[in-house]
Chain A
Amino acid sequence: MSHLQVRGIGKRFGAFVALDAIDLDVQKGEFVVLLGPSGCGKTTLLRTLAGLEMQDQGQIIHAGRDISRLPPAQRDYGIVFQSYALFPNLNVGQNVAYGLNNKRQGREAFRQRVDEMLALVGLPGTENKYPAQLSGGQQQRIALARALATRPDLLFLDEPLSALDAIERVRLRTEIRKLQQRLGVTTVMVTHDQEEALSMADRIVVMRSGRIQQMGDPQTIYHRPANDFVADFIGRGNLIQGEASAADTIVHHGLSLQCDATLQPGKAYRFYLRPEDIRLLDPLEATHNSLLATVDKQEFLGAFTLVTLNPLHTGMPALVAQFSSNYLDGRPIEIGSRVRIGLPKERLHPMQEAA
């Protein structure tokens, strides 16, 4: 049985459906990321798990205990908010120790725990500083130390990195992930940043309008999006649709394309191809799954170049390809020139129809 079970959670705010029959299982030690645009219900779901919002229906079971109707204080979790929510009038030590019960544990154990937590987040010796004396990233680390000090069984992170600058954000996301793996604490994080989700999660839950669109590990979510929404939300892509002419072939605007999936002949299918999956071939290499196109636009972005290609097949929509600089390795791409590109069959995964 999974560690945290969510069964049929629903929540409305007036006529607005915030959560619609959400089912979710989180395994012990797993890092699950709730991902979606604002208003998709991801934060509401997290706050429901935390007992800060009360669901209208459904059940939440944590370690076999039904916590559906329990107030926050009777659940077992630590939480970190985007705003840090550090108490400004207490110093770092007092903030970290806020949830520790010093009568039960004795003063020495108490101090030791604070030292231990500050060392854990890489800020030893800061206990006498006030939050306002720390940078945003440092404050967020203290918030994390405070949330973990009481050894909670679950860790909830509500957009913990959104208020930080880009460099600090990347550094802290690696640190949080490492810390989470070291402590093995079961974690649920909310974010709207797909890169953050891909880099941190064991499993991503993509949400939209109060519903789960797809659940899966980062690779699956990225390469095999279940529907248009997931595909669009996570990275750029090219939609390729056509009718299957054989068990392994579809016809896309007159072009036959092979794929690895097993198809039903006569049925319409849709595929999602990532820009970096498009290959640049030798113009004479007229292999399967290749076509000629003219270069319409190119955008140099440093590590890679985004290229818009107009296929010569009439009616076929433009494709966006992404070529990394070392892949091109000096091969020039010029606007107006004609190139041959390949659409690898192992990258063509049919989408399940829209949820």
Chain B
Amino acid sequence: MNASGRVLTAAATSPSVSTRVNASGLLLVLAALVLAVFLLLPMGALLGHSVLDAQGNWSFQRFHDVLTAPGMADATWNTFWVALAVTAITVPLAFLYAYAIQRSCMPFKGLWRMLGLSPLLGPSLVGAIAFIQWFGTQGLLKSWLGDTSVYGPLGIIMATVFASFPHALMVLIVALATADGRLFEAADALGASRWRKFVTVTLPAAKYGLISAGMLVFAYSVSEFGIPKVIGGNFKVLAVEIYVQTVGQQNLGHGAVVALMLLVPVMFAYVVDRQVQRRQQASMTARAVPYQPKRDVLRDSLLTLFTATVAFAMLAVLGMAMYTSVITFWPYNLAPTLGHYTYGLADAGVGNAYLNSLWIALLTALLGTPFIFVTAYLLDKTGQPNSPLRSAIQAMASLPMGVPGLVLGIGYILFFNHPDNPLGALYRTFAIMVIVNVVHYYSACHLTALTALKSLDREFEAVSASLKVSRLVTFFRVTLPVCLPAVLEISRYLFINAMTTVSALVFLYSPDTLPAAVSILNLDEAGELGPAAAMATLIILTTAVFSLLHAGLTHLLLRRHQAWRTASR
């Protein structure tokens, strides 16, 4: 009866509905556009460029040229078998190391864990420089290698094992963290031997973690560019070939084709890893009882010995790089000096590189973190769950994990350096380096943000709406405080990676924007090993200090704002 009259009142208020919905929808469209411009279009440019000939016509000429070029078959095969060797060494080492941390009563676990992850603090090149010092022509331990030169596959494998070890370790520590204690009790009750328990309970539970770590290390080795550049000698691999084609011979077309060849195995590893992770989620049930290792003298001492040996080797590598930076000339003049830090860096004209990197890393963390977190928030908490826009953003956010930095870098050159691109002004600026870093490391951060957001009750937004509290208020009062640890972790991850990365930036810097990690490469090329080690040490110290400050800040913030986490019943 009078309902129809009142409909008018409702209709009058409805415009505010559409504005509210549009505000978050608009932001999401914006995020999608940003990702499309800075990820999809460069990748598209890469694909497009590889199937055009010099005149701009469709052709597979470039593929033909590259594939039949002398040395390409060797480079491909070398890349492949070196990656296999690195994976075969790193994964078992990291597994045993993680096993010792998670499944034994070894003392000082925190220390071992920190040492095991320490290679993350420096650029991957650190290992290469240190191994040259240890095993190179003038190396202290040269005799250990017999007649084999460290410049070549052996050096590449050793340095890559060192650099990829912490990545595998992180995955495996997580994989071994959750064990169902009931299974071990059942095995004990059935009288299973130690070996039998390991093979029938431990390994199957860690299976997905092992595959995941293997894929990660394989992809890491295939895409690693700095290590073979420094220690590879004349041994050809694809990643260096991209650099040679693009920077050395200025042949972008060939660079693009080689980049695609690199993309294939990395994408394959990435897809396998995604499938595996999807399965793993179902394998742990809510009823599982956490496994508590019991003291076992034999096992614990053997594992401690192993862990200490690996950790000591890590320290020897890091330490040698740092030591090189404070002595005059290895091995002839061991007099301590700070010369490499002062005139060594200044003479080479890379004095600003350190400050450049500090800026890039700070901006990457400060701008990347809010962008990534807000995008993940909009994706998870607003609007309709399965719209095409959302799926597109989700796909774009996951993609960078499967794209090596070098490949992304080539895509950026092709896209932003194109004369018709209105965004061309960005090329070789700080801005583009910050952007490429955010994009390059997007996936892991996105996953961290999404995991934190998904752990929130999905009805928070509904409850707020029913209480007439705006979404923005709930974001700042509840969502952000609860996700604070994840947000802090994202910023740390971005800073450290931006500080140490070489691969994408190597194509995008100008003399004014040279980043520190790339300058190490240039110094090494010029034979300036001392200043190169000095720069590496600066980076390591920076990331170490940053990690300490970050840990302190996190601790303070959590204590002040997160009392609820520790409140006891």
Q: What residues of chain A have their CB less than 8 Å away from a CB belonging to chain B?
A: 1, 5, 50-52, 59, 61, 64-75, 77-79, 81, 83-91, 98-99, 129-133, 146-147, 150, 152, 156
Contact of A72 with B465 in the complex, beta carbons under 8 Å: yes
Which residues of chain B come closer than 8 Å to A131, judged between CB atoms? Answer: 564
Contact in complex: A130, B3 (CB < 8 Å): no
* Of the residues B7, B14, B466, contact of A72 by C-beta under 8 Å: B466
What residues of A have a CB within 8 angstroms of the CB of B280 in the complex?
A: none
Question: By the criterion CB–CB under 8 Å, are A61 and B3 in contact?
Answer: yes
Asked if residues B481 and A89 are in contact (CB atoms below 8 Å), the reply is yes
Q: What are 16 A-B pairs with beta-carbon distances under 8 A?
A: A65-B10, A66-B6, A69-B11, A72-B466, A74-B13, A74-B17, A78-B466, A84-B457, A88-B564, A89-B564, A90-B477, A99-B466, A130-B564, A132-B569, A146-B467, A147-B466
Residues in A neighbouring B457, C-beta threshold 8 A:
81, 83-86
Question: In the docked arrangement, what's the CA distance between A37 and B95, Å?
Answer: 47
Best-surrounded residue of A52, A75, A89, A91 (most CB of chain B within 10 A): A89
Query: Within 8 Å CB of B7, what residues of A?
Result: 66
Give the distance in Å from the alpha carbon of A5 to the alpha carbon of B3 in the complex: 10
The smallest beta-carbon distance between B91 and chain A, in angstroms, is: 38
Q: Which of A69, A75, A156 is within 8 Å of B14, CB to CB?
A: A69
B10 with A66: CB separation less than 8 A: yes
B contact residues around A84 at 8 Å (CB): 457
- With beta carbons under 8 angstroms apart, the residue of B2, B466, B468 that contacts A64 is B2
A residues near B465, Cβ cutoff 8 Å: 51-52, 71-73
Binding site for A on B (CB under 8 A): 1-3, 6-7, 9-11, 13-14, 16-17, 20-21, 457, 459-460, 462-470, 477-478, 481-482, 561-564, 567-569
Chain A: interface secondary structure?
loop
Tell me the smallest distance from the CB of A116 to a CB of chain B, in Å: 17
Is the pair B10, A68 in contact by a Cβ cutoff of 8 Å? yes
B468 contacts A99, C-beta separation under 8 Å? yes
Beta-carbon contact of B478 and A90 below 8 Å? yes
CA distance A133 to B564 in the complex (A): 9
Residue among A1, A61, A87, A152 with the most chain B CB within 10 A?
A87
Q: What separation, in Å, do the CA atoms of A14 and B562 have in the docked complex? A: 42
Chain B residues contacting A75 (CB-CB under 8 Å) are 466
Provide the residues of chain A in CB contact with B20, threshold 8 Å: 71
B564 touches A85 (CB 8 A): no
What distance in Å separates the Cβ of A127 from its nearest Cβ neighbour in chain B? Answer: 14
Tell me which of B17, B21, B482 contacts A70 (CB under 8 A): B17
**In the complex, are the beta carbons of A69 and B3 less than 8 A apart?**
no
A133 to B566, CA, bound (A): 10
Across the interface, which residues of B come within 8 angstroms of A132, CB to CB? Answer: 564, 567, 569
Q: Which residue of B lies closest to A64 (CB)?
A: B6
Q: Give bound CA distance, A292 to B467, whole Å.
A: 62
Query: Is there contact, CB below 8 Å, between B13 and A70?
Result: yes
In the complex, what distance in Å separates the CA atom of A146 from the CA atom of B6?
30
A221 to B77, CA, bound (A): 75
Contact B567 A133, beta carbon cutoff 8 Å: yes
Neighbouring B residues of A83 by C-beta, 8 Å: 457, 459
CA distance A79 to B461 in the complex (A): 12
B287 CB to closest chain A CB (Å) equals 16
Residues in B with CB closer than 8 Å to A77 are 466
| A61 and B464 alpha carbons, distance in the complex (Å) | 22
Bound complex: CA A156 to CA B462 (Å): 12
B564 — which chain A residues lie within 8 A by C-beta? 88-91, 130-132
Residue of B7, B11, B463, B569 with most partner-chain A CB within 10 A: B463
- Tell me if B481 and A85 are in contact (CB < 8 A): no
Given contacts A72-B462, A99-B468, 4 further A-B contacts (CB under 8 A): A64-B2, A74-B16, A78-B466, A87-B482
- Distance (Å) between the CB of A314 and the closest chain B CB? 50
Partner of B569, one of A69, A91, A99, A133: A133
Residues of A within 8 A of B478 (CB): 87, 89-90
- For B20, B21, B465, B466, the residue with the greatest tally of chain A CB atoms inside 10 Å of its CB is B466
A231–B470 Cα distance when bound, in Å, is 45
CB-defined contacts of B17 to chain A, threshold 8 Å: 69-71, 74
Q: Which of A50, A59, A89, A91 contacts B466 (CB 8 A)?
A: A50
Contact B481 A79 (CB under 8 A): no
* Contacting pair B462 A64 (CB below 8 A): no
Cβ A85 vs Cβ B460 within 8 A:
yes
- Bound-state Cα–Cα, A72 to B3, Å: 20
Say yes or no: B460 contacts A1, CB within 8 Å.
Answer: no
Contacts of B561 in A (CB 8 A): 89
Contacts of A90 in B (CB 8 A): 477-478, 564
A51 to B569, CA, bound (A): 36
- The 5 A-B pairs with the shortest beta carbon distances in the complex, nearest first, are A99-B467, A72-B465, A85-B459, A130-B564, A66-B7
Q: Which residue of A lies closest to B562 (CB)?
A: A89
- Decide if B567 touches A89 in the complex (CB within 8 Å): no
**Given A69-B14, A83-B457: A1 in contact with B1 (beta carbons within 8 A):** yes
CA distance A129 to B2 in the complex (A): 48
Instruction: Determine the chain A residues whose CB is within 8 A of the CB of B569 once the complex forms.
Output: 132-133
A84 to B458 CA separation, bound complex (whole angstroms):
11
Q: Which residues of chain B have C-beta atoms less than 8 A from A147's C-beta?
A: 466-467
Known: A69-B10, A71-B17, A85-B460. A78 touches B467 (CB 8 A): yes
Specify which of A59, A81, A91, A146 is in contact with B459 (CB 8 Å cutoff). Answer: A81
Residues in A whose Cβ lies below 8 Å from that of B470? 73
Q: Which of A50, A73, A146, A156 has the most CB of B within 10 A?
A: A73
A103 vs B6: C-alpha distance when bound (angstroms): 30
Cα(A201)–Cα(B228), bound, Å: 74
Contact B9 A52 (CB under 8 A): no
In angstroms, Cα B6 to Cα A59, docked, is: 12
Partner among A88, A98, A150 whose Cβ is within 8 Å of the Cβ of B482: A88
B462 in contact with A81 (CB, 8 Å): yes
Complex-state Cα separation, A279 to B468, whole angstroms: 56
Please determine whether A70 and B462 come into contact, CB atoms closer than 8 angstroms.
no
What is the CB-to-nearest-CB distance from B133 to chain A, in angstroms, rounded to a whole number?
A: 50
Q: For the complex formed, measure the closest distance between the CB of B562 and the CB atoms of chain A, giving whole angstroms.
A: 7
Given contacts A70-B10, A146-B467, contact A52 B462 (CB under 8 A): yes
Across the interface, name the chain B residue whose C-beta is closest to A149: B467
